[in-house]
A = this chain, B = another copy of it.
Amino acid sequence: MNKKGLAILMRTKMRPLPPAAIKRVNQMEVPPQENSNVVSSTPNASIYPPRDFEQVRDSMHSAILMNKTEILDAALSEFCEGYFSLSKENRRKLLLTLAREYDLDRIQVRELMKQYLGLELPIGEKAQHSSGQLEELSLSAFYRIERNLRHALKPNYEVLFERLNTHPGGLKFLSDIRADILSFLAEENFPSLRALDSYLKEKLGTWLSPANLELHNITWDDPASLLEKIVAYEAVHPISSLLDLKRRLGVGRRCFGYLHPAIPGEPLIFIEVALMKDVAETIQEVLWDDPPIPECEATSALFYSISSTQPGLSGINLGKFLIKRVIDVVKKDMPIISIFATLSPIPGYMQWLLSKLASAEISGPTFRENLLKQEEEGALVDAAVEFSSSKNGMEVMKYLLTSTNYEWTKSAKIISVLRPPMMRLCARYLLQEKKRGKALDSVANFHLQNGAMIGRLNWMADRSEKGLTQSGGIMVNYIYRVENIEENAHSYYSKGHIQATSDVSCFVEVTCWS
């Protein structure tokens, strides 16, 4: 191929792979909402010969109770293939059968509990400090029953999970069926299936502990089969061509993935890093064609995309460890880099803001909360006089933000009057709006639980359709300060404290934590 031909190939627009080949893409920056209707990630049923429900249920039964290795392997393979051949309805039925009929023996559990409660606690134990040989002996019975109870509390389906974990392809299969389970639970709550899911999630979390994961620096020298995965799963800023991919792996950038030995050639999660002089304010600064500075001048590492590839690993935070290890590797490699930050969307902001504006509308003037300050309202009404005759600032704001084709982004005047309330309300949304004590915004929650702090809000940082629809064009830098990561994560986890720089927190006049 001549030079020109190669150049054309490298620039050819890549088309998304067919669904069956790439599975569903999970976008860590926008994790699926718990109650959204998640599409099943598992291979299409049509590529497997059809099987009866009873047939697959029997192979599941064998896979749990079988003892002969040779046959066991066959039974596990048969079960995995059989499962994929089932319709959605039958998969649900099968998983419910597993959850209900291979549960634990509650009669045995109750028996052990009665024995346990019949024992008398030694005096020292009550004071939480036992010692001495006598007490040691009196505790023996406790140790024995506690051990037996630990075993009795393991559901029978654990055997299947354990066996699949050591079966070739089994770990991936477990992740695939968990994706199905989550989609079934999103449609309807089955307590038995939820209990199974919580058990499976804990197991997967153990097997995928960072100690078992390999950090891989993904480069242009990696196999095409692996690079293909990066293209398929990159969910934040889609990769448009081979040239685009090559640039993401080239000078001024890094890409790191976590691989598990049992799932070769497919990173479970990967992160893209840009090496910069300053922390980027807009996404355009990051998606350059040619590096703006030589690598040696970079002092910041910007995480501009993090994508998880396995929907079945939802809730297992691999990103936290990945970010920490990437920081370690980059610091070691380039000690001059001292700032680690993201440039992230705020995917729930506009939905929240518009529903606030709508509810203000229906509440009527007496009860509604005025989201705007007086001077903001005045400026908005004045500036938008050619679009709307309303004198109500919130009505004007809603009208502008929902205008077709984002008309408001075409007027410098409108942009400038929207900026103060949009930025202030965004800070409020990030810092104060919570759900079960955690940040309402899923990306904020992700980085805060990893130990980041909220750094800076950037106005008009992402003017793409998605950026405007979800985040009102705003992007935020989450900052990872190595020395505070664990402390931040802990205080967020235990008390819901959100760390932010004073620039952001003073927007909403809350105590500045930083």
Chain A contacts to B: CB under 8 angstroms: 67-70, 72, 100-101, 103-107, 109-110, 113-114, 116-117, 121, 125-126, 128-131, 136-137, 139-140, 142-143, 146-147, 149-150, 153, 165-166, 171, 190-192, 194-195, 198, 206-207, 209-212, 214, 261-262, 324, 482-483, 485-487, 490
Q: Are B150 and A150 within 8 A (Cβ)? A: yes
- Closest chain B residue to A151 by CB distance? B202
Distance (Å) between the CB of A190 and the closest chain B CB? 6
Q: Are B486 and A72 within 8 A (Cβ)? A: yes
Among B69, B110, B126, B261, the residue within 8 A (CB) of A107 is B126
Residues of B within 8 A of A107 (CB): 121, 126
Residues of B within 8 A of A207 (CB): 211
Residues of B within 8 A of A261 (CB): 211-212, 214, 261
CA distance A116 to B152 in the complex (A): 14
Q: Are B486 and A131 within 8 A (Cβ)? A: no
Q: Are B324 and A166 within 8 A (Cβ)? A: no
Q: Are B192 and A139 within 8 A (Cβ)? A: yes
Residues of B within 8 A of A126 (CB): 107
Asked whether A106 and B142 contact (CB < 8 A) given A68-B486, A150-B153, the answer is yes
Number of identical protomers:
2
Interface of A is mostly: helix
CA distance A6 to B149 in the complex (A): 62
Distance (Å) between the CB of A261 and the closest chain B CB? 8
Distance (Å) between the CB of A60 and the closest chain B CB? 16
Q: Are B106 and A110 within 8 A (Cβ)? A: no
Among B67, B106, B114, B165, the residue within 8 A (CB) of A121 is B106
CA distance A128 to B139 in the complex (A): 33
Asked whether A485 and B69 contact (CB < 8 A) given A126-B107, A142-B106, A166-B209, the answer is yes
Q: Are A192 and B143 within 8 A (Cβ)? A: yes
Among B100, B114, B125, B153, the residue within 8 A (CB) of A146 is B153
- Closest chain B residue to A192 by CB distance? B136
CA distance A142 to B195 in the complex (A): 10
CA distance A68 to B153 in the complex (A): 33
- Closest chain B residue to A207 by CB distance? B211
CA distance A482 to B71 in the complex (A): 11
Which 9 pairs of residues, A with B, have the shortest CB-CB distance? Answer: A143-B195, A140-B191, A68-B486, A69-B486, A113-B113, A166-B211, A67-B490, A136-B191, A150-B153
Q: Are A194 and B143 within 8 A (Cβ)? A: yes
Distance (Å) between the CB of A486 and the closest chain B CB? 4
Given contacts A149-B149, A211-B261, A212-B261, 9 further A-B contacts (CB under 8 A): A68-B490, A70-B482, A72-B486, A106-B121, A106-B142, A107-B121, A110-B121, A140-B191, A143-B194
Q: Are B209 and A100 within 8 A (Cβ)? A: no
